[in-house]
Amino acid sequence: MIFKFSFRNIWRQRSRAFAVLATVSLGISALMIYHGFNAGIMNQYRDNTIRARFGHGQVNTKNYRDEIWDKPWERWIDPAAPFVEELKNRPEVEFIFPRISFYALLNNGEKTLSGAGEGVDGKSESQFFTTLNVIEGKILSGEEDGIILGKGLAEALKLKVGDRVTVLANTHSGSLNAVDVYVTGIFFAGMKSFDDTFFRIQLSKAQELLDTPKVENIALGLKQLEDWPKVESWVDGSTDYEATPFNVLDKVYYQNSVDFLQAQFGFIFIVIVVIVVLGIFNTVSTIILERKGEIGNMRANGDSYREVLTLLLTESLILGFIGATLGVLLSYFCNFTILANGIQMPPGPGITRQFTTFVELQLAFIPVCYLIGILSSLLGTAMAARRVLKMPITELLRG
């Protein structure tokens, strides 16, 4: 019965109901969009780290990353080891990427520069690492003699796609070795230290260059990110191997940036929540104060303090629920129309290029939005109604 009277009151007082609905829906929509914007940036940072460089994590021999070894290649992984085959057959693992990292000199026939190289299985990695931002040519794939290098390194050596370059490095026995390759692509990751030094060649060429059949580590591409704890636990349970997640591997550019942005966004989010709650509270309170005459008539006709308060709170509950629903729908409408092409962002911490981010609305955040909308409306009504209901009936009737 109380809901029936509440709906009648809301329908009868359309202008007031519209004011509450507009305040709640716009506030909730702002919260949803901001939260989705934050999630979009964080997810883009994460996906770029996973899909451009590190995969979901990598496997090394025990303590390889934590200690300095006089002959590190003695701690490298044999690709033919039974462990590697077991790892490949894990249900969570979609790809394994054996790799070798090394330092080398690059010579274009006129100039020689040092660089940080990586030997990879280009054909396999091209199926997974899709966000490296290749600006010329293409990502390293099945080209046996190919090399892909950063924009800064390519500019310093005056190399373009198709040019030949010689890579020189010391073998594990100490002798100098060289391989000739040609440029298949140039990437621009937006991290200066990375773009100015980094290059990739085929794993077979790197093994030939360093004179070794082993690999330094194995990067992993999983079927889904949530599978990482299972794989990490299984690897760490072995005698000779350990696993490291991508956020630890890229602590400087990924984890530190994410920690910084989360702290910043968390503070701004609190400010927005306070503004939204105060806006809803103020609108609802003002409307209750404008209804003093109506409340006075109800009291004069015999309705008790409790009955009037229950009616007002029920109206507020309905308006808060409808307003939150409209706010959620409005946020999705804006995301599919105005924000459909994303938002152009300036370079973030540690990055030197712009990027486009998309608002990723989170279903898990919808209950929070409903809670904020309904509680703010109820609180505003309760505070204002308590003040009004304490007034004498004669004073209410004059209002």
Least confident of 103-117, 175-189, 197-211, 257-271: 257-271
Q: Within a domain: residue 261? A: yes
Q: Within a domain: residue 85? A: yes
Structure tokens at 63: 């303590």
Structure tokens at 216: 């330094």
Residue 5 pLDDT class (50, 70, 90 cuts): low
The amino acid at 279: G
- How would you classify the pairing of strands 112-120 and 198-202? parallel
Helix (H) or strand (E) holding 34, with range, is: helix 14-49
- Residue range 15-23: average pLDDT? 81
- Measuring CA to CA, which residue among 75, 107, 50 is closest to residue 241? 75
Question: Are the CB atoms for 5 and 313 separated by under 8 Å?
Answer: no
Read off the pLDDT of residues 273-304 as tens digits, 9 standing for 90 and up: 888 778 877 777 777 777 777 777 777 777 77
Most confident range (mean pLDDT) of 41-45, 149-153, 275-279, 310-314 is: 149-153
Q: Is residue 6 predicted with pLDDT exceeding 70?
A: no
For residues 1-12, b (16+ Cβ closer than 10 Å) or e, as one string?
A: eeeeebeebbee
Q: How many residues does the chain have?
A: 399
187: three-class secondary structure by DSSP: strand
Q: Within a domain: residue 17? A: yes
Residue 310 pLDDT class (50, 70, 90 cuts): confident
- Residue range 329-335: average pLDDT? 95
Q: Within a domain: residue 132? A: yes
Read off the pLDDT of residues 142-158 as tens digits, 9 standing for 90 and up: 899 999 999 999 999 99
Q: Is residue 173 predicted with pLDDT exceeding 90?
A: no
Structure tokens at 268: 């701004």
Secondary-structure breakdown of the chain: helix, strand, coil percentages, each rounded to the nearest 5: 55, 20, 25
Choosing from 209, 239, 269, the residue where a domain stops is 239
Ramachandran area for residue 201 (φ above 0: left; ψ -120 to 50: alpha; else beta): beta
Q: Are residues 191 and 113 in the same domain?
A: yes
Q: Are residues 271 and 326 in the same domain?
A: yes
For residues 63-94, b (16+ Cβ closer than 10 Å) or e, as one string?
A: ebeeeeeeeeeebbbeeeeebbeebeebebbb
Q: Are residues 208 and 116 in the same domain?
A: yes
Read off the pLDDT of residues 50-100 as tens digits, 9 standing for 90 and up: 998 899 999 999 999 888 888 899 999 999 999 999 999 999 999 999 999
Question: Are the CB atoms for 64 and 72 separated by under 8 Å?
Answer: yes
Q: Is residue 171 predicted with pLDDT exceeding 80?
A: yes
Choosing from 181, 214, 239, the residue where a domain stops is 239
Q: Is residue 270 predicted with pLDDT exceeding 90?
A: no
Most confident range (mean pLDDT) of 8-17, 42-51, 72-81 is: 72-81
Q: Within a domain: residue 172? A: yes
Read off the pLDDT of residues 219-259 as tens digits, 9 standing for 90 and up: 999 999 999 999 999 999 998 999 999 998 988 777 777 78
The predicted pLDDT at position 348 comes to: 65
Question: Are the CB atoms for 245 and 60 separated by under 8 Å?
Answer: no
Q: Within a domain: residue 250? A: no
Query: Into how many domains does the chain fold?
Result: 2
pTM of the model: 0.78
Q: Are residues 201 and 148 in the same domain?
A: yes
Q: Are residues 77 and 213 in the same domain?
A: yes
The predicted pLDDT at position 1 comes to: 61
Read off the pLDDT of residues 186-220 as tens digits, 9 standing for 90 and up: 999 888 888 999 999 999 999 999 999 999 999 99
Q: Are residues 288 and 211 in the same domain?
A: no
Q: For 233, what's the count of Cα atoms within 13 Å in the CB-facing half-sphere?
A: 6
Q: Are residues 102 and 12 in the same domain?
A: no
Structure tokens at 201: 């060649």
Q: Are residues 23 and 107 in the same domain?
A: no
Q: Is residue 24 predicted with pLDDT exceeding 90?
A: no
Q: Are residues 223 and 274 in the same domain?
A: no
Q: Within a domain: residue 376? A: yes
Q: Within a domain: residue 57? A: no
Q: Please list the residues that pair with 179 across neighbouring strands.
A: 167
Distance CA 268, CA 229 (A): 32
Helix (H) or strand (E) holding 136, with range, is: strand 134-137
Average pLDDT value over all residues in the chain: 88
CB atoms within 10 A of CB 282: 13
Q: Are residues 210 and 327 in the same domain?
A: no
Choosing from 239, 271, 298, the residue where a domain stops is 239
The predicted pLDDT at position 29 comes to: 93
Distance CA 15, CA 21 (A): 10
Q: Are residues 139 and 197 in the same domain?
A: yes
Q: How far is CA 279 from CA 22, 31, 33, 48, in A?
A: 11, 13, 18, 38
Task: Show the domain range for 290.
Answer: 2-49+255-398
Please state, for a pLDDT cut of 70, what percent of the chain lies above it: 96
Q: Are residues 126 and 6 in the same domain?
A: no
Q: Is residue 163 predicted with pLDDT exceeding 90?
A: yes
Distance CA 92, CA 56 (A): 11
Read off the pLDDT of residues 361-371 as tens digits, 9 standing for 90 and up: 999 999 999 99
